[in-house]
Chains A and B, each alone.
Chain A
Amino acid sequence: DTAVSQTPKYLVTQMGNDKSIKCEQNLGHDTMYWYKQDSKKFLKIMFSYNNKELIINETVPNRFSPKSPDKAHLNLHINSLELGDSAVYFCASSQSLAGGDTGELFFGEGSRLTVL
Chain B
Amino acid sequence: QQQVKQSPQSLIVQKGGISIINCAYENTAFDYFPWYQQFPGKGPALLIAIRPDVSEKKEGRFTISFNKSAKQFSLHIMDSQPGDSATYFCAASMSYNTDKLIFGTGTRLQVFP
Contact = CB atoms under 8 A, between A and B. Distances in A.
| Interface secondary structure of A, over-half rule | strand
B101 A109 contact: no
B88 to A, nearest CB: 10
Contacts of B103: 42-44
A56 interface: yes
Nearest to A58: B100
B98 A102 contact: yes
Interface residues of B, number: 24
B89 A31 contact: no
A37 B20 CA distance: 23
Nearest to B89: A43
Contacts of A1: none
Contact of A100 (B41, B95, B106): B95
Contacts of B101: 45, 105
Interface of A: 4, 31, 33, 40-45, 48, 50, 55-56, 90, 92, 94, 99-102, 104-110
Interface of B: 32, 34, 36, 38, 41-46, 49, 87, 89, 93, 95-96, 98-101, 103, 105-106, 108
